[in-house]
A and B are shown apart, each in its own frame.
Chain A
């Protein structure tokens, strides 16, 4: 279980996160949604340790991890899929999947992770994770490296961005399969109604504060019907 207590984060005189508190129970799929610039991605980075909060505490399975490094959090079972996948020079797709698993693996084993994100392993395994890959390809490889880790808590920062060539239902399958296989929690930062639709719990963050939080059944209809609060949702879905 992950618990956030009064997380605050301020930069350039702007209060990006203002006393955020919530819990993520085991084996749940949580979607954090809200307008752009509302603090969602910052919150995801704070959970992974990429950003440090100005105040507040992060408790993972009873242990205070607020001051732990990114590496230690990864070792404690937190995984993170970047919104903008990172590019390398010389490191191949196979290398990155092996690093995700923490060991050299058979080629056939690595293939499974690529197939799961809709990439033909034969075409991609030996390619460098560099700018020669398209944004959509990089995004799927990013997803594969994170799925391979089988973390007990995995955070996806806007996974739908850049996967336009891949059917959306395949992306949804990645999350539902992951939930079944690893029996861990999944946190997804998303604007997409179809991703909100698979959530156990939805948290709406706007202007650095939690505006609403509850089950999908409780929150989603309200988001979709409330023109004012869900303007961003409709814009994204129409775009």
Chain B
């Protein structure tokens, strides 16, 4: 099972996990439907599922300042990989989890990865979850990613999720749902750029069940060329709680972006806000950067890079 990573594998890992070799700490690296190496620690155990593809990650209570990397790479074309990963985070643990999927497809056949991740946070647990999606390759075969994230927060726990899809994914439907207990907090930051004829749809569905539960969903999207994006967010407040969704999109060329908000307050003390802004790059931003000596292309690039930073 042990072997060295080749150049392409290292490149893809760097893109999605910011590592270019086997990391220290707990990890599970999966390539083309198989685990290529795993490491566990005293506090973090990783166990393969027996009934389906995927792993269970058990993080002991009070585990502090540890990281778990579980990247997936697809380098074989014509491959559909469906994987179920469940994270069980013990009481008062404080950890960072880095996931993500990179698809390299040089053929005309479709490559697809559907990752279903479930997070169960016990009381007082705190998780930072970073997920990046990336695709490349010269082939005409499509690169498809359909990540699902299901989050359950018990009292006093919190999860901060950063999800990024910057390049090369032809079709993506991203579904994230959360069920929040008392005094919990869920922050989701999403950054997406689509180009060519790509399509990306994001669905957020957060239920605020616990007193003083709060969520903040921030989506920044850039749609170029003839790409299409949809952003659907639903927040349901069932008690004294706070929910805020911000969808901010830049459209360019012939792209389209659709934002569909749904906020449902079932309690007089639920405070829910949805903001959506869609438009082209502001002319005055371009002008300002051009007065600093940037060309129009350079100015556009800086504005988009800043927006998606």
Binary flags per residue of B286-309, CB closer than 8 Å to A gives 1, else 0: 011111111110000011011111
B275 vs chain A, min Cβ distance (A): 12
A119 within 8 A of B: no
A residues sitting closer than 8 Å to B (CB atoms) are 48, 50, 69-71, 74-75, 79-80, 82, 86, 88-92, 95, 99-100, 102, 145, 149
Which residues of B sit under 8 angstroms from A95, Cβ to Cβ?
302, 306
Number of B residues near A (Cβ < 8 Å) is 22
- Given A95-B306, A99-B302, A88-B285 contact (CB < 8 Å): yes
B248 within 8 A of A: yes
With most chain B CB atoms within 10 A of its CB, the pick from A48, A86, A102 is A86
23 residue pairs from A and B, CB less than 8 Å apart? A48-B291, A69-B290, A70-B290, A71-B295, A71-B296, A74-B290, A74-B292, A75-B293, A82-B288, A86-B284, A88-B303, A89-B220, A89-B248, A90-B305, A90-B306, A90-B307, A90-B308, A90-B309, A92-B306, A95-B302, A100-B292, A102-B293, A145-B292
* Dominant secondary structure at the B interface: helix
A-B contacts counted at CB < 8 A amount to: 54
B215 vs chain A, min Cβ distance (A): 20
* Dominant secondary structure at the A interface: mixed
Additional A-B contacts beyond A71-B290, A90-B220, A92-B306 (11; CB < 8 A)? A50-B287, A50-B291, A71-B294, A74-B291, A75-B293, A82-B288, A86-B284, A90-B308, A95-B306, A99-B302, A149-B293
With most chain A CB atoms within 10 A of its CB, the pick from B220, B282, B288 is B288
- Chain B residue with Cβ nearest A128: B306
- Chain B residue with Cβ nearest A81: B291
Separation of A29 and B293 alpha carbons in the complex (Å) = 23
Which residues of B sit under 8 angstroms from A82, Cβ to Cβ?
288
- Chain B residue with Cβ nearest A149: B292
Which residues of A sit under 8 angstroms from B294, Cβ to Cβ?
71, 99
